[in-house]
Structure 1
Amino acid sequence: MSTEQFTGRAVPGPPVAVAPTAPPGAGQAPPGRPLASRLPTLTGLRAPVALAVFLFHASLLFPSIRLLADDSQAEGFYRAVAQVGGLTMPFWFALSGFILVWSHRGNPSPAAWWRRRYVKIVPPYIVGWILARVLVDGADGAHTTTAQSFLSFFMLQSWVPDVPTNFAVNNVSWSLSTEAFFYLAFPALYPLVRRVPAARLKYWIGGVVLAICAVPLLTYAVVPVGTAVVPNEPAQSANYFWFAYIFPPTRLLDFVLGMLVARAVMLGRWRNIGLAGSGALLVVSYVVALNVPMLWGLRVACLLPAVMVIAAGAMADNEGTSSVFRNRFLVWLGDISFAFYLVHFTVLEYTRKLLGDRLFGTPAAIGLLAAQFAVSVLLAWALYVCVERPVTRRWSRSRRARV
């Protein structure tokens, strides 16, 4: 049993940056090669990563999620995807930093930049929060306190060293709370990243990687163990998990790494082994993550391969080489992946609520899981079409800027 089972809540989830349009002046392309204006491969890559998050959450063994009646099958399902958070979160946070650097336009004021982020994130976030609050918590808020609801609504939950608070209301929204900190910091971080000389980018990237590798060591050294020890993992605690995995300043390192790698790719300073090679390395690293102590798996094992996949995807689009992730259907799924993230856990919990206490055999459980996925996709599509896309188009710029 791991931390997400102990707390009754779950962990992985994506950030919200989307495949960008890179304007002139966004960075310096390698000599003779302009930057690609769009990166559909990175959008398409979001689809399988989002699916991995869905499967992880569907595998959780606590009563509000579990469908499988057979204990050994349920445990095996969970164990197979137990370290998805260690793969997806470095990917999502680094992808966010990468895309925001690649797509950065000119020199907008911090207020204008924050406005664009706000209108993209907050309206869908609020809709997802309301759905979870009404359908899962119920009108009386039986599963959350008033303080937890307040913190969750205003994206402050990841700052509190209390795992139930981190996952209150809409379970997966903790990563948006962490991501909001990245967005607040980006206008200050971007000029610093731009000032790094091209020849020294490799040293900065290496330094950030080492800093991330030091997070588990720092956590074990300075964070109090507390009283919430995870069953069957006596060396871990909820305090460890919060500091290493959720705490926004700790996760900022992943975001900055993505920013630096974007600059390296844009300046022709990244050694690419291709999507196939990077993907194979990511699979191997995931197996490693399943077999190392929890924090090392969550923070370190998949870090470099995840970043290599992001860079390889961007370079495939920039160089016009083939990419399976440029498939139209995968790109569509990638476009709605933020909305999918916001609704899928609510679908999982609400389904379980409707079904009562009954558990199911394997064929029935697989059928229900497929139905849950389909409903999540449909709800995500509706949220994207009705809220995310129109609000972003209408309100991302001030009225004066639109004139």
Structure 2
Amino acid sequence: MRSRVIRLNTLTGLRFPAAFVVFLYHAALLGYLGLNWLSPENVHDYYRSVHHAGALGVSFFFVLSGFVLTWSARDTDTAPRFWRRRFLKIVPNYLVVWVLAMVVFAAPRTDMKIGLLNFFMLQVYYPDFSINFGVNPAGWSLAVEAVFYLSFPLLLRLIKKIPVNRINLWVAIVGLGIIATPFLSTHLAPAKSVFMPMEPETSVNQYFYSYILPFPRILDFALGILVARSVMTGRWRNIGMVWAGALLVASYVLGYFTPYIYSSRAVCVIPAAILIAAGAIADRDRRFTVFRNKVTVWLGDISFAFYLVHFTVLEGLWKLLGSKLYTGPQAAAMLVLGLGVSILASWALYSLIERPITRRWSNPRKRPVAAQREAVPAESQPLVAGLAIEER
């Protein structure tokens, strides 16, 4: 039984950059930013520079979820307690932003079926973009994460049974499975006749099976679990954060030269896992990283709320300021304003909803101390210092 869990502040600090690249990608999809380099119609400029940035951010979060949940897993935990904490972590913010999105922009163009499917996190089981992204476009990934959380107790139990000397072999196998997913999608899933408006060579149907459907994405989550186990058991070969960061940048550049269905699903996920492992090892060994300071950790703390609310903020600002097309410096100023308001809204969500709810109800009410001592011998009570690392 581990007596202490090291808080991984570097990984917390890395969360906001991952959310920020999703912000940049979603900004590229908002056609009201009329400047050429911010216009979806001019796909050779701003959109092309960020067209798989959103996918990088999502993949990073999926792998990170598996890693930090494994790192912070409690030996005495039960599946119902784990599910309770996860439910209280993601659902309140998700539902609040669902309401905000409906009020701000989605209700006039969203029928009841699509709204309810998004409300109950069922939008990821239909190969239809109008359903997948029908209310809050960022919300689909939380529906995928919900499947991860349901499967985590079983996955962790199975992965813990893998012999230590074979853990890296399984890292490689799952990594190859992730790379194979878009290949299988393009060759096995029917293309139909609907193609992505921004990526005319990519079928909506094949993209759905490769990128959105939860079950193939479990591989990303399992990769995070496996890498965490490799690090925790001393089997991981660390290359350090500088080289891991350079590798991630190089993989992103490589994405420009691969079909979109590969750049959005497979190109960056392995380098992302390597960077996550390097960050965790830096924290474990107490090495300096630029992501472990008060500002970056605070931004990481509010990153979940930021990820959820930023698209609604961008749409809301546009309506509030007159629903016009922006050109030149106005468009750039609009992005800066949207970023600032999104951070403030995220802070409010984190401070008023996420943190109070998780602190108050994540764990069952404690019995009186005397009763606890009678029920549990002192030597068997686990120390829980550092459990705040659990995914934010």
Q: Same fold (TM over 0.5)?
A: yes
Contact 2:314 2:338 (C-alpha < 8 Å) held by counterparts:
yes
The answer for the alignment partner of 1:45 in structure 2 is 14
The answer for the alignment partner of 2:27 in structure 1 is 58
**Distance in structure 2 (CA, Å) of the matches to 1:230 and 1:125:** 26
**Distance in structure 2 (CA, Å) of the matches to 1:190 and 1:392:** 23
Q: Deviations over 1:10-31 (max 9, x none)?
A: xxxxxxxxxxxxxx538xxxxx
Q: By how many angstroms is 1:235 displaced?
A: 3.9
Contact 1:86 1:289 (C-alpha < 8 Å) held by counterparts:
no
**Distance in structure 2 (CA, Å) of the matches to 1:69 and 1:370:** 15
The answer for the alignment partner of 2:63 in structure 1 is 94
The answer for the alignment partner of 2:390 in structure 1 is none
Q: By how many angstroms is 1:72 displaced?
A: 8.0
TM-score of the aligned structures, taking structure 2 as reference length: 0.89
- Residues 395, 68 of structure 1: alpha-carbon distance in 2 compared, 3 angstrom cutoff: same
Alignment of structure 1 residues 372-391 onto 2, 5 Å: 372-391=338-357
State the secondary structure of the residue aligned to 1:257: helix
Contact 1:47 1:334 (C-alpha < 8 Å) held by counterparts:
yes
- Residues 359, 276 of structure 1: alpha-carbon distance in 2 compared, 3 angstrom cutoff: same
Q: By how many angstroms is 1:73 displaced?
A: 6.9
Does 1:358 pair with 2:359? no
State the secondary structure of the residue aligned to 2:77: coil
Does 1:135 pair with 2:104? yes
Gaps of 5+ in 1: 1-23, 27-34
**Distance in structure 2 (CA, Å) of the matches to 1:72 and 1:191:** 47
The alignment's C-alpha RMSD in Å is: 1.8
Counterpart amino acid of 1:91?
F
Q: By how many angstroms is 1:362 displaced?
A: 2.3
**Distance in structure 1 (CA, Å) of the matches to 2:331 and 2:284:** 42
Counterpart amino acid of 1:365?
A
User: Aligned to 1:80, which of 6, 30, 49?
Assistant: 49
User: Aligned to 2:214, which of 232, 236, 248?
Assistant: 248
Counterpart amino acid of 1:101?
T
Same amino acid, percent of matched pairs: 48
User: Aligned to 1:119, which of 62, 75, 88?
Assistant: 88
- Residues 189, 46 of structure 1: alpha-carbon distance in 2 compared, 3 angstrom cutoff: same
Q: By how many angstroms is 1:282 displaced?
A: 0.6
Counterpart amino acid of 1:80?
S
Contact 2:115 2:134 (C-alpha < 8 Å) held by counterparts:
yes
The answer for the alignment partner of 1:265 in structure 2 is 231
- Residues 84, 402 of structure 1: alpha-carbon distance in 2 compared, 3 angstrom cutoff: farther
The answer for the alignment partner of 2:273 in structure 1 is 307
The answer for the alignment partner of 2:295 in structure 1 is 329
Contact 1:167 1:173 (C-alpha < 8 Å) held by counterparts:
yes
**Distance in structure 2 (CA, Å) of the matches to 1:351 and 1:327:** 31
Does 1:25 pair with 2:22? no
User: Aligned to 2:178, which of 184, 206, 212?
Assistant: 212
Q: By how many angstroms is 1:247 displaced?
A: 0.3
Q: Deviations over 1:99-145 (max 9, x none)?
A: 000000113221111001111111111111111011112xxx22111
Counterpart amino acid of 1:99?
V
Does 1:341 pair with 2:310? no
Q: By how many angstroms is 1:98 displaced?
A: 0.2
Contact 2:179 2:267 (C-alpha < 8 Å) held by counterparts:
no
Gaps of 5+ in 2: 370-392
User: Aligned to 2:334, which of 364, 368, 372?
Assistant: 368
- Residues 73, 229 of structure 1: alpha-carbon distance in 2 compared, 3 angstrom cutoff: closer
The answer for the alignment partner of 2:252 in structure 1 is 286
Counterpart amino acid of 2:105?
V
Q: By how many angstroms is 1:354 displaced?
A: 2.6
- Residues 341, 400 of structure 1: alpha-carbon distance in 2 compared, 3 angstrom cutoff: same
